Structures are given as structure tokens and as C-alpha cells.
């Protein structure tokens, strides 16, 4: 059974959160730190962009500043997420461990199965996987926001998207992020996105509300530690791994601080598209 490091929740700003995940990814790719499952939250609230999103076209940056919402670009793909009342996980492992499938879609299934198992078995939350319908493409959303439509193998609750995940593979290493909202404020999210008219904004917000959910909206009120324990146990069982609590190394902290200053806080990175 493979031993992984477990890093439990810590609130940090958007730039440091993204820098830590990349620092772990870089040093794990060099075999200097173990495979890692990390839980964290965001303080202050932040809007994260998918790697390929066009910031100037899709995001109302002056509104973000007015609302005191940090803006950061992720390494992973997908669409914009407002990280506010939520628990975030990241999972980092080299491909040569041969634990996750070569196919991104299949590896989503493996990871999501663990998320669902933990939520179901330990917390009694009847979460499910969004099943693949033969011959159909993954659902397409209607806005720049994540959570407005679940893709295949994402976690749903009451047939609405609950956990949004995105993956990046680089230098033979897999990084997957996932966002589990405790609560969602659709009006707040859609203030931060650009639309051609208020009518289009309201329409996108309504669709988002119909297709997404949060734990509190579904009637569940668990703490971060309860959710962390459940998800960690579910992933441990599904992936056949052993999790041992640890902490960031001095090298990871130093590299993360460097990445904050030289990358994640910069306009060049956040507005590169």
C-alpha cells in the first residue's frame, strides 16, 4: 500500500494557495516529497480562473477589486470559481506511480469515486457520480463560471453539481484541484463576470442556480475537519493508499513564496490571456 502525505486545512490567500500546490507538484516530480493530498480554504475570498480562460474578456476585474475579491489564475483548466465558503482539495502524484489511469476522464472517475465514498459512508450524504451516457459528449455550461453544468464523473447531489474538479499533467506529474462548496452565493459570483447585458447575466445566474448545489443548500452543515476526514478516508479506500499527516517542507515553503512573488501575484500571469 502506497503511503501519501496528508496536509490538513489551512486558510491562506489565493496566491499562496496556488503557489503551494505548484511547489508540491514541482518537488514531487523530482522525487523530493511524497504524493500528497492537501485540504485548504481561502482567506480572503478569491476568484480563480481556469488556465485557458481569457481574463479581460470574461472577468469584471474592477468589480473584483470593489468587492475585495482576489483574482488568480490556476494551473488547472476549467472555468472560474469563487472560493468563499468552501473546502478545497488538491491531489498530487507522479504518473509513474501507476495509481491513476493515463486517461484524464478515467482518473476523474477514480478520484470522484473516493470523494463519493467518503461523503456517503462517513457523513451520510447521498452524493453520486455523474454517469457517462454512451454516445454523448460531456455537458457544456452556459457561462464562464464553474458549477453551471456537471461533466462526466463529477460529483453530484440531487442531480446537481456538488464538487467541481480540474486536472493538469506536467513533467510526468498529476495535479487535481477540487472545490466542495459549503454555501454558494450565485448573485455574488455573477457580479464578477462580464456579460453583454444585465438580462444575460440574470439568465446565466438562474441556470447556474438550477444546476449547482452546496452542502448547506442540500441541508448539511459539516465542519471542515469532518469533511476532510470523510474525503481522506474515502480516497484512501478507493485508491488503496495510506495517508499520514505531515507538513510542508522548508523547500516547499521557500519555493511557494518565490512563486507567489514571481508568478501568482503578477499581472503577467493572471492576465496572460
Q: Is 27 helix (H, G, I), strand (E, B) or coil?
A: helix
DSSP string, 152-208: TT-EEETTEEEEEEEEEEETTEEEEEEEEES---HHHHHHTB--SSHHHHHHHHHHH
Place of cell 496536509: 7
Helices in 45-172 by DSSP H: which ranges? Answer: 55-58, 61-66, 104-123
pLDDT on residue 151: 59
240 has pLDDT over 60 = yes
d(CA 119, CA 127): 7
For residue 150, the model assigns a pLDDT of 52
- Domains for the chain: give ranges and CATH numbers: 2-270 (3.30.930.10)
> For residue 148, what pLDDT is reported?
44
Show which residues are catalytic.
Answer: 146
Residue 242: Cβ within 10 Å count: 10
Closest by Cα among 21, 7, 8 to 256: 21
Element (H, E) at 23: helix 14-29
List the end-to-end C-alpha distance of the chain, in Å, as a whole number. Answer: 42
Per residue in 41-66, pLDDT (tens digit) is 999 999 999 999 999 999 999 999 99
pLDDT tens, position by position, 90-111: 999 999 999 999 988 899 999 9
The pLDDT of residue 79: 86
CA distances from 161 to 20, 87, 202, 249 (A): 27, 15, 19, 35
64 near 192, Cβ under 8 Å? yes
pLDDT in the model for residue 175: 97
Pairing of strands 70-73, 81-83: unpaired
**To the nearest whole number, what is the mean pLDDT of the chain?**
92
**138-196 tens-digit pLDDT:** 454 444 444 444 556 889 999 999 998 999 999 999 999 999 999 999 989 999 999 99
Q: What is the pLDDT of residues 109-141, one digit of tens each?
A: 999 999 999 999 999 999 999 876 555 554 544
Amino acid at each position: 500500500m502506497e503511503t501519501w502525505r496528508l496536509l490538513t486545512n489551512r486558510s491562506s490567500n489565493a496566491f499562496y494557495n496556488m503557489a503551494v500546490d505548484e511547489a508540491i507538484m514541482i518537488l514531487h516530480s523530482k522525487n523530493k516529497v511524497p504524493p500528497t493530498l492537501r485540504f485548504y480554504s481561502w482567506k480572503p475570498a478569491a476568484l480563480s480562473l481556469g488556465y485557458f480562460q481569457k481574463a479581460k474578456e470574461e472577468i469584471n476585474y474592477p468589480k473584483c477589486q470593489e468587492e475585495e475579491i482576489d483574482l488568480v489564475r490556476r494551473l488547472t483548466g476549467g472555468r472560474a470559481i469563487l472560493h468563499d465558503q468552501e473546502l478545497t482539495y488538491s491531489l498530487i502524484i507522479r504518473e509513474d506511480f501507476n495509481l491513476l489511469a493515463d486517461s484524464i476522464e478515467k482518473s476523474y472517475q477514480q478520484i470522484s469515486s473516493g470523494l463519493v465514498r467518503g461523503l456517503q459512508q462517513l457523513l451520510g450524504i447521498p452524493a453520486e457520480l455523474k454517469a457517462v451516457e454512451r454516445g454523448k459528449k460531456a455537458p457544456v455550461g452556459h457561462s464562464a463560471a464553474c458549477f453551471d453544468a456537471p461533466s462526466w464523473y463529477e460529483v453530484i447531489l440531487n442531480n446537481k453539481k456538488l464538487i467541481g474538479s480540474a486536472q493538469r499533467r506536467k513533467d510526468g506529474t498529476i495535479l487535481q484541484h477540487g472545490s466542495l462548496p459549503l454555501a454558494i452565493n450565485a448573485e455574488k459570483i455573477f457580479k464578477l463576470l462580464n456579460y453583454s447585458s444585465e438580462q444575460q447575466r440574470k439568465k446565466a445566474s438562474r441556470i447556474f442556480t438550477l444546476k449547482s448545489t452546496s452542502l448547506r443548500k442540500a441541508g448539511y452543515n459539516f465542519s471542515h475537519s469532518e469533511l476532510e476526514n470523510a474525503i481522506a478516508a474515502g480516497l484512501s479506500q478507493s485508491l488503496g493508499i495510506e495517508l499520514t499527516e505531515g507538513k510542508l517542507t522548508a523547500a516547499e515553503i521557500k519555493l511557494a513564496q518565490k512563486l507567489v512573488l514571481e508568478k501568482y501575484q503578477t499581472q503577467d500571469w493572471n492576465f496572460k490571456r
